[in-house]
Amino acid sequence: MKLTKIVSKALCAGALLSSFAGFAQKKQPNIIFIFPDQMRGQAMGFEGEELVKTPNLDKFKQESVNFSQAVANYPVCSPTRAMIFSGVHPIKNKVILNCNSNSTKFESELPKDILCWSDILAENGYDLGYIGKWHLDSPRSPYIKCKNNEGETKWNEWCEPDRRHGFDYWYSYGTYDYHLNPMYWDTDATRDGFKIYNEWGPTHEATKSIDYIENKNGTLRDSDKPFALVVSINPPHSPYDQVPKKYKDIYKNMDIEKLCDRPNIPAKGTKWGDFYRDNVKNYYACITGVDEQFGRILDALKSKGIEDNTIIVFTSDHGNCIGIHDRVSKNNWFEESMRVPFMVKVPGVTNGKDVDYQLGSLDIYPTLLGLLGMADKAPTYLNGTDYTPAITGAGKQKSSSHQWYTRMDYGPMTGGTRGVRDDRYTFVIANEKDKGQAVYLYDRKKDPYQLNNIANKNNKVVRKMTSLLKKDLKKYGDPFIIK
């Protein structure tokens, strides 16, 4: 299938015509979607904000379109993953909470009959591969015998073949956080047939990804078909110290206080200030390690000679505070939790530009189909926006004025936390224990580190943002109650 629809738009717009038309004349492009877990958007070298070393991502940024305001709408693992694959709000895709034994009673798992973008690709001539963390199935008894299931809360579960949404090649697990000894089920494994390996997870997964790309003897995919490969890397997810020594050594001699030169990092000697200082070097080491594995995958595309017919996406499911704002990790409305990397490289089209569109988790599904020239295959009920024009420069981009924020609790969906984020403000209404419903408003232009809640002093902005939130609640059928 040719990208005729996009090329037609390019003709009308007169943008990047010759390079994009050349790309379109080749066979249907491959796509590789790489997303580590818990990697915040600020933690890349080219951002110039944190002293983290990411040479491959820095180079990739110069070759791709960088969405500098990309966010996770519900910044926790399973809900974001479900939105990425289903293209609809958690109320509609059923993944309202992280998939674990506590949420099983809420049936919080990705339905096998929901139409994912991977299903559409499989129906339209693609071979699909999935490598790494899935985390979209509810653990069930008898529980898998593994370390992540030894505590009171069970986390890991096998994904049955009829729940894999079109992915032919499978090398995955539910969620398993022992990064130096990761476990996987391969395509034909039974529920008890997983294997544990003595190799850092990202390194192992990059090697498997390279095997899939090289496809020696045609054993992993049909060489005559285009492919879509998802590489879901667990680090820099905690525990942060489970990272090879060679990456730790890069940061070993750095002055810890230089790594804490952000006003929203709590002071040394406080609980969360010390937590940050105890973990940030290892967090950066994980990111540098992921960066190296990302580079290996890119090198494999070049060696195979298919780089010029492969779309590459790099993002993350959500960010990570590591103690910033006294928050242990994610699942909050602060930028370190919400903002994620989102870079896309389309051969012959992208050239290192930054765009500041409000892109969220639900926009990924339609955008992937748009980039593949399959926008007409997208279901009409999708909740997101296709950002293909912003990436290719072909045609006029329709965009959202804001993105929404959600945190749901283990209880009635009328509670929890909801909010909206536009190009200036972050606004949140939160149900807090023993405090009732609290309102938060941050002006990120004047206060980029979100240190001051100005809700009580800005009634006009609060009214405007409340109106946007009410419209979103109605749009998505969200029963959250604003008191």
Q: In order of start, what are the domains of the chain with their CATH numbers?
A: 4-400 (3.40.720.10), 404-476 (3.30.1120.10)
What confidence score (pLDDT) does residue 371 get? 97
> Is 60 exceeded by the pLDDT of residue 432?
yes
Interval 449-477: pLDDT, tens: 999 999 999 999 999 999 999 999 999 99
2: pLDDT confidence band, cut at 50, 70 and 90? very low
Tell me what percent of the residues of the chain surpass a pLDDT of 90: 91
The model's pTM is: 0.94
Q: Mean pLDDT, the chain, as a whole number? A: 94
Q: What is the pLDDT of residue 26?
A: 57
Contact 196, 182 (CB under 8 A): yes
240-246 own/partner pairs: CB under 8 Å, 24+ apart:
240/279, 240/282, 240/283, 240/285, 240/286, 240/322, 241/279, 241/282, 242/177, 242/178, 242/179, 242/180, 242/200, 243/179, 243/180, 243/200, 243/282, 243/285, 243/286, 243/289, 244/180, 244/200, 244/203, 244/289
Tell me the average pLDDT across 351-380.
96
Say whether pLDDT at 261 is over 80.
yes
* Least confident span in 22-31, 253-262, 391-400: 22-31
What average pLDDT does the segment 358-383 reach?
97
Percent of the chain with pLDDT over 70: 95
Q: What's the whole-number mean pLDDT along residues 361-381?
A: 97
| Band of residue 311 on the pLDDT scale cut at 50, 70, 90 | very high
What local confidence, expressed as pLDDT, does residue 52 receive?
98
108 touches 395 (CB < 8 A): no
- Between CA 401 and CA 37 the distance in angstroms is 27
**pLDDT attached to residue 66:** 97
- Residue 325 scores a pLDDT above 50: yes
Please tell me the predicted confidence (pLDDT) of residue 233: 98
Mean pLDDT throughout 11-37? Answer: 63
Residue 9 has pLDDT above 50, yes or no: no
